[in-house]
Amino acid sequence: MGRVHEYITGKIARGEKLHFTLVDPDKPFTREGLEKTAKLMAEAGTDAFLIGGSIGVTPEEAGEAAGVLKETGLPVIVFPGNINCLTPRADAVLFMVLMNSNEPYYLMMAQVAAAPLVKKYGLEPLPTGYIVVYPDTAVSHMGRVQPIPVGKPEVVLAYALAGEMMGFKYIYLEAGSGSQQTVPPSFPAIVKKYTGLVTIVGGGIRSPEQAREMVKSGADVIVTGTIVEKDPELAVKIVKAVKSPQ
């Protein structure tokens, strides 16, 4: 494991909760606008930037966004909807398996296609199990997921344990971009109780209160994206709630 992993786990070891800002390069933006957003979120205390989207992102768009975001001095991590999101201008990549997908491509073939590029680009791979909870989001549709029963946290734990046994270091519990619901708090709670995985939670987090609930339930990292686009001031409040969840 490399520099970005050490950066993340070092903060967690010191008792910090982390916030990642997700940027979708496929969304219309100007360089000036992205610079403004990046500066705002960095000053608020976000710990890293994720770049990615499930539909339509080109390598050129990903590279342009990565270049702007790196000017903050914070790590830039590819959050790949597919291999088209990969860019050598990022620092690392969530090297993911969509664990509850019914599509073989997302279980292994995407990773096989991506691995030579990750190696060639010099990206630091962060081995990640990715679990999409709800069926009514774009990522669920594109990934052909088998939804997780919300009242069955033990199902998520089984996935997380399997991932840990296969060598994953991270588990990403995803409600989905624009989801009307957050991940059930019982999901990060059970994962943190029984595994040593860095637990990331994203999707549906629209308020400081929801962010606090997630970190108190066991999430190490909170990801917000949609709210950053729609209401930057509220996004800043969410970052501060993550960093000081009293």
Residue list for the binding site for sn-glycerol 1-phosphate:
172-178, 203-204, 225-226
Quickly list H helices, the chain: 3-13, 31-44, 59-70, 104, 110-121, 138-143, 153-165, 186-194, 208-217, 226-230, 232-243
Report helix, strand or coil for 21.
Answer: strand
Decide if 43 contacts 68 (C-beta within 8 A).
no
Residue recorded with tokens 């669920």: 140
Numbered residues of the known binding site: 24, 54, 172-178, 203-204, 225-226
Q: Which two tokens stand for residue 176?
A: 């989905």
What residues form the annotated binding site for Mg(2+)? Answer: 24, 54
173-195 exposure pattern, b = at least 16 Cβ within 10 A, e = fewer = bbbbbbbeebbbbbbbbbbbeeb
Distances (CA, A) of 156 to 41, 88, 104, 187, 211: 31, 33, 20, 7, 20
Q: How far apart are CA 56 and CA 81, in angstroms?
A: 9
